[in-house]
Amino acid sequence: MRRRAFLALPLALLPAQARANAVAYPAVTPDFRLDFPRDHGAHPHFRQEWWYVTGSLATSRGETLGFQVTFFRARPDFATANPGRMVPRQIILAHAALADGRHGRLRHEDRAGRASLGLAGADEGTTRVWVDGWRLELVRNAWRTRIAAREFALDLEIRMRRPPVANGRDGYSQKGPGAGEASYYYSVPHLLVSGSVERAGARQEVSGTAWLDHEWSSQYMPAAAEGWDWIGLNLDDGGALMAFRMRKGGGAAPGSDTLYAGGTLLSPQDVVRVLAPDQVAFEPLRRWRSPRTGTTYPVAMKVAILGREWLIEPMMDDQELDARASTGTIYWEGAVGAKLEGATVGRGYLELTGYWRPMRL
Amino acid sequence: MFRLSLLGARGHWGGRALLSALGIALGVALGSAVHLINRAAVNELAAGVRALAGDADLEVRGARAGFPEALYAELARLPGVAVASPVLELEAGLAAGRTIRILGLDPLRAGLVQPALFGDDPRRRLELLKPDTVYLSAAAADLARDGKLRVVAGLQTVELEVAGVLPASSLRGVAALADVATAQWRLGREGQLNRIDLRLAPGVDRELLRTAIGAKLPAGVHVVTVDAVEESGANLSRAYRVNLNVLALVALFTGGFLVFSAQALEVARRRGEHALLRVLGLQGAGLFRLLLAEAALIGAAASALGVVLGWAIAKAAVSLGGADLGSGLFRGVQPELALPIGTMAAYWAAGIAVAVAGAWLPALDAARVPPAQALKAGDAERLFERAATIAPGLALLAAGTALSQLPAVGGLPLPGYAAIACLLVGGVLLMPWLARSAFERLPLSRRPALALALAQLRGAPGQAMVSLAAIVASFALMCAMAIMVASFRESVDRWLSAVLPADLYLRTTHAGESAWIEPEFEDQVRKLPQFSSVEFLRSQRVLLDPARPAVALLARDGEADKGAMRVPLAGKGYQRRAGDPPPAWISEAVADLHRLGPGARIELPLAGRRQPFIVAGIWRDYARQHGAVVIERETYVALTGDRRANDAALWLARGATPDQASRALRALPGGSALEIAGPGEIRTVSLRLFDRTFAVTYALEAVAVLVGLFGLASSVGAIVLSRRREFGMLRHVGMTRGQVGGMLAAEGGLLAALGVGAGIALGAAISLVLVYVVNRQSFGWSMDLHPPWALLAGLSAALVGLAALVAWFSGREAMGVGPVRAVREDW
């Protein structure tokens, strides 16, 4: 379902105006069935697609770290007769971040490249997406990711412990009130992570849990939306929760800025419950203002779902990502903990986009 | 005491001091202006290179023809390479004329290496990915007023969408950014790149990686550090810049000479005054210091004026015409003029030093005279007595001759410049001896005015020597430069006739590197009945040495008899033997830089491989300063498979006219994009270009001459004024005013004639050094000597006439007071 600040890229790249030489993207339609391993791979005809891994890691010394690894594929909207091999027919972007409570802010870095000459690409058939030396690859039932950034490095194996959970109706995830404002979307919660993290030249073994989203679409954001809030939680009881809302410019009343909402609740018994727009409500509890950009984010949230109130608290307030140099936007994406009636019940990631400036489609 | 001396000086110093001060000021002004402009241009160029290189550590560069894009992928994957950024950089022709540098790059990569390109607006990177989209540099903004950039590709025009204009700090010069795929496709370089910028991972051994990369590169492609790129950019123009600086220094030198002549006369006139100071207790050394201090004071004021003037000139020049100064090396460079305090202080100090140096000898002389002797009248002739020995002059001439045989130092003809200085000073030092010998041998005329003039010159050569030195020094320099420029121009003229043997020429190279002629078009031209013979030429650039600019490679259709390429050979060619590799004719610049002679082997990087050639001859090429290599087109096509052409030489068939033929060419599909010209037209344009290139040289030369003439006029005038009582006496013994005037005119004329004769001889010697040493070593051009006889004769006559006129005129003024009062001054 949701998100991805990377949307900023396709938006800038692909102004929706009809152009004589614009390419025709396939529509996202409800008559769709997920098919694995094919749908772990890329769907290059669609406008945009991402593989999004978020999770928490524990070091051998008992530190807790949050991590995020995203690969994004965009198909620019221009058609050209240029037969050259360097034509940017597909763009691959990657974004990696490491949240470290002691460091006080995110370590993050991004990469971008055209899928050309084998230097970047996204294969069909199974997950294999890369840009330069950064890569995410599915081998049997485990993803392997390697990220070598300037401030940190990740080398992780992310093992599936349960089959993917289709969001929306069999993976058709409505994103807005309008027809066609939808994506194909599945999540894989409760992934088992092992591997190593390198910070300041020091390498440490880590283990933890993670969440993977894979989503592709040709029209992700409703026209009126300014941004979205998204949350994905691995619950301690074995369940999982994904919820999102698309925001529009709104009034002061709670929820009046919600344009569309949805989610998926997975019970410990593996029962999937698809959440309708009126079953999900986000309410900011506490705001944090970035000293760097002056942007204010609701970093603590109350999410009401089916009569229960989930309290979302960030691992640290400053998990802002300034991605202006790569994707042209600034957003907040951070490790969070979730509480129900005062008790911690799970961990996950919260994403807040469109707070710096409206994300325009 | 100093104040006393200044008081004494005040009365006399007026005009002459002002003139010598002006000389110094002009010299300093020109020197500092040339320096400021050149420095601004070089800094701008270096900043451009740096901005473009951004954070790159290494740069992989090929000739413009480039290398396959797969090399980029290979290097990007090397461990230790953090970012590889592919570039295709071409000077492309615009449909409306002019050219523009098109930088085809991957904005997603380039942003990481050259943050300045997109730093202010990251979204530009994504805009740039669109096909057929360009961003223009600020300097190119007016090239596409309607939002379209029309670029020549082959013989077609391609329309590119202008998405915006970059801030001036992002991209310098007349340039446009495009996506690399757009550049490859639209400019006909499919699959090719010609540069890769590399940023290395932290902690990687740069040299080790550089070696590893070097081993992977095809022939003609090199990996260099960014510093080296920057340096080679500055090296390009170094010889030209040094040349201009030396010219400016000549003006300063002449200014120093003016000080010398003014001071020498001053010391002579104020001999009594100085003796009085000595009698009042001032020591000889004190007087010496006093006089130097006087000169230093004048120098300081004049020099300060010069520095201010230089700044103003530089500012005006840069805002009017950019920083090019005629070399064409900085065309389109619009730099910021910086005020380097240190350098300006150095020019100020140089002005003072020159003034002090000019006053040194006269001051020494004044300090040495015993006061009693100096108080007597008529003792003003001592200054040059010692100088009448010929040993120092001869030694300097010998040293100059020896220096002119030395090779360049660090690419600059420093020994050549030193040789010129030695010759000049040596020649001037020989003048007293020469004057004495010459005037003694001259028979005395019966006409009293002439006889008196000669007697005066024989008897009191000291004062005359000052004027003579001024004439010789300035006229020698003037002649030398006139001979050099005339020789160069005439050589270029003859060379143009030699390289333009055909009746008609068609070119695409006026449109930069993006225009070419396809084989089909070539066939159509060959079939035209208007031509009896057609030779096509493919021009490329190859990188023989990564530290130097690329060399032009000209693949020409040979003539019927193989191996006789139509090039103006300098020296003898090489007779090819069986088994020799194919022939190449190299230009003098290539021969000099790579130390190659006829019969030597040369390897040219063609199609990524080193191909052996044999040097069949060395030819003269004034068109391509960085060197050119001519090979047979047949060989080129066989080695590279490249059948495109750029230019053609066309011989008309019997009965065809150039007009008809041009029309037939234009009527061919794509023919309207060609530039077609007859040899006469090309020659005219080339010579106009030549004159423009030398405009600054001409201007500097004119200033040096002007300063010299000032010196001549002022010293002749001063001598005459100082002899007022003599004229009074002559009038008393019965000479008429006219006769005295005639005597003075004869004196001035004789002096000037000797000076001009010696000046021409000295100037000729210096011009030899300029033609055969300085120019050859600076620019790699040889030329034949073609002295501009008429110009030299005219200048000589003008100078002699001017000297006579000034002397006569000053005499009239001096005699204005009447004979009685003039004589009374003695008491």
B122·A326 Cβ contact <8 A: yes
Number of other residues whose CB lies within 10 A of the CB of residue A124: 12
Q: Bridge-partner residues for B58, per DSSP?
A: B198, B225
Q: Do A83 and B190 touch (CB under 8 A)?
A: yes
The answer to whether residue B106 neighbours chain A at the CB level (below 8 Å) is yes
Q: Same domain, yes or no, for B82 and B8?
A: no
Give A-chain residues touching B118 at CB under 8 angstroms. Answer: 325
Q: Do B489 and B574 share a domain, yes or no?
A: no
Same domain for B611 and B701?
Answer: no
- Show the domain range for B9: 1-53+248-383
Q: How confident is the model at residue B570 (pLDDT cuts 50, 70, 90)?
A: confident
8 Å CB contact between B779 and B625: yes
B239 φ/ψ sector (left φ>0, alpha ψ -120 to 50, else beta): alpha
Spatial contact of B54 and B112, defined as CB atoms under 8 Å apart: no
Q: Whole-angstrom Cα distance, residue A43 to residue B490?
A: 71
Q: What is the ipTM of this complex?
A: 0.87
Cis preceding linkage at A163, omega within 30: no
pLDDT, tens only, B179-209: 999 999 999 899 999 899 998 887 788 888 9
Q: Band of the pLDDT at B396, cuts 50, 70, 90?
A: very high
Q: Which of B130, B133, B159, B199 to mutate to test the interface with A (most CBs of A within 10 A)?
A: B130
Please determine, for residue B1, whether its predicted confidence score (pLDDT) is greater than 50: no
Q: Does B172 lie in the same domain as B121?
A: yes
Q: Indicate the pLDDT class of residue B400, thresholds 50, 70 and 90.
A: very high
Confidence of residue B233 (pLDDT cuts 50, 70, 90): low
- The dihedrals phi and psi of B429, each to the nearest 5 degrees, come to -65, -30
Cβ distance A84 to B73 less than 8 Å, yes or no, reads: no
Instruction: Give the model's pLDDT for residue A186.
Output: 97
In this structure, the answer to whether residues B517 and B666 fall within a common structural domain is: yes
B74 contact A CB<8A:
no
B193 lies in a domain?
Answer: yes
Residue recorded with tokens 């090429």: B621
d(CA B748, CA B751): 5
- Complete domains list, chain A, with CATH: 5-352 (2.40.370.10)
Predicted local distance difference test score (pLDDT) of residue B261: 73
Q: Are A124 and A41 in contact (CB under 8 A)?
A: yes
Look up tokens 């047979």; give the residue.
B632
Do residues B48 and B132 both lie within one domain? no
- Under an 8 A CB cutoff, do B123 and A12 touch? yes
Last residue of a domain, one of B383, B412, B435: B383
Residue B819 within a domain? yes
Name residue B86's beta-bridge partners.
Answer: B196
Shared-domain flag, residues B175 and B137: yes
- Decide: residue A319, CB within 10 A, 0-12 exposed, 13-18 middle, 19+ buried: buried
State whether residue B695 sits within 8 Å of chain A by CB.
no
Query: Is residue B580 domain-shared with residue B510, that is, in the same domain?
Result: yes
Same domain, B452 and B522: no
Residue A352, min C-alpha distance to chain B (Å): 21
- Provide the domain count of chain B: 4
**pLDDT tens across the length of chain A (361 residues):** 444 444 444 433 333 333 445 788 999 999 889 999 999 999 999 999 999 999 999 998 889 999 999 999 999 988 889 999 999 999 999 989 999 888 878 899 888 899 999 999 999 999 999 998 899 999 999 999 999 988 899 999 999 999 999 999 899 999 988 888 899 999 999 999 999 999 988 999 999 999 999 999 998 788 888 999 999 999 999 999 999 999 987 666 666 789 999 999 999 999 999 999 999 999 999 999 999 999 999 999 999 999 899 999 999 999 998 877 667 788 999 999 999 999 999 999 999 999 998 875 4
Has residue B426 been placed in a domain? no
Q: Do B191 and A84 touch (CB under 8 A)?
A: yes
Neighbours of A118 (CB within 10 A): 12
Q: Does B78 touch chain A (CB under 8 A)?
A: no
**pLDDT at residue B124 is higher than 80:** yes
Whole-angstrom Cα distance, residue B338 to residue B314? 10
Chain A residues in contact with B71 by the CB 8 A cut-off are none
Asked if residue B557 belongs to a domain, the reply is yes
Rounded-to-integer distance, Cα A185 and Cα A213, Å: 7
Kindly determine whether residue A132 and residue B76, on different chains, have CB atoms separated by under 8 Å.
Answer: yes
The b-or-e profile of A338-359 (16+ CB within 10 A means b, else e) is: beeeeeebbbbbbbbbbbbeeb
Chain B touched by A112 (CB under 8 Å): yes
Of all residues in chain B, what percent carry a pLDDT higher than 90?
19
Q: How many CB pairs under 8 A join A and B?
A: 67
In a domain, B488, yes or no: yes
d(CA A25, CA B129): 18
Distance from CA of A351 to the nearest CA of B (A): 22
Tokens (6 digits) for B338: 């910086």
Please give the average per-residue pLDDT across B238-260, as a whole number: 73
Tell me, yes or no, if B167 comes closer than 8 A to chain A by beta carbon: no
Tell me, what DSSP letter sits at residue A22? B
Burial of B817 (0-12, 13-18, 19+ CB in 10 A): middle
Neighboring chain A residues of B76 at a CB cutoff of 8 Å: 119, 132
**DSSP 3-state assignment of A236?**
coil
Residue after which a domain boundary falls, among B631, B648, B677: B677
Each residue's pLDDT tens digit, B362-380: 788 777 777 776 666 554 4
Cα distance between residue B278 and residue B4, in whole Å: 12
Of A253-267, B171-185, B246-260, B466-480, the range with the highest mean pLDDT is: B171-185
Residue B384 pLDDT exceeds 60:
no
State whether B647 and B692 are in the same domain.
no
pLDDT tens, residue by residue, B634-689: 999 999 999 999 889 899 999 889 999 999 998 988 888 788 888 888 888 888 87
B165 and B254 both lie in a single domain? no
User: Which residues 51-80 of A are in CB contact (within 8 Å) with B?
Assistant: 76, 78, 80
A348: helix, strand or coil = strand
| Residues β-bridged to residue A275 | A263
A9 in contact with B, Cβ within 8 Å = yes
B589's tokens: 């610049």
Residues B719 and B827 in one domain: yes
Let me know if residue B607 belongs to a domain.
Answer: yes
Contact A82 B131 (CB under 8 A): yes
Query: Residue B594: which residues within 8 A CB-CB, separation 6 or more?
Result: B544, B545, B586, B602
Between B136 and A178, whose confidence is greater? Answer: B136
Q: Which amino acid is at A156?
A: L
Check A9 against B180: CB less than 8 A apart: no
Inside any domain, residue B657:
yes
CB contact under 8 A, B202 and A150: yes
Q: Do residues A346 and A336 lie in contact, with contact meaning Cβ atoms separated by under 8 Å?
A: no
CA distances in angstroms from B351 to B161, B288, B301, B347, listed in the order given: 55, 20, 9, 6
pLDDT for B601 equals 92
From A13, A82, A113, residue closest to B181, measured CB to CB:
A82
Q: Do B181 and A324 touch (CB under 8 A)?
A: no
Q: What is the pLDDT of residues B716-735, one digit of tens each?
A: 776 676 677 777 788 888 88
CB contact (8 A) between residue B127 and residue A83: no
Question: Over the stretch B781-790, which tens digit does the pLDDT of each residue have?
Answer: 788 889 999 9
With CB atoms and an 8 Å threshold, state whether B190 touches A84. yes
pLDDT exceeds cutoff 90 at B174: no
Provide the whole-model pTM. Answer: 0.74
Domain assignment of residue B264, yes or no: yes
CA distance B96 to chain A (A): 25
Task: Note the pLDDT of residue B7.
Answer: 46
Domain boundary among B364, B383, B402: B383
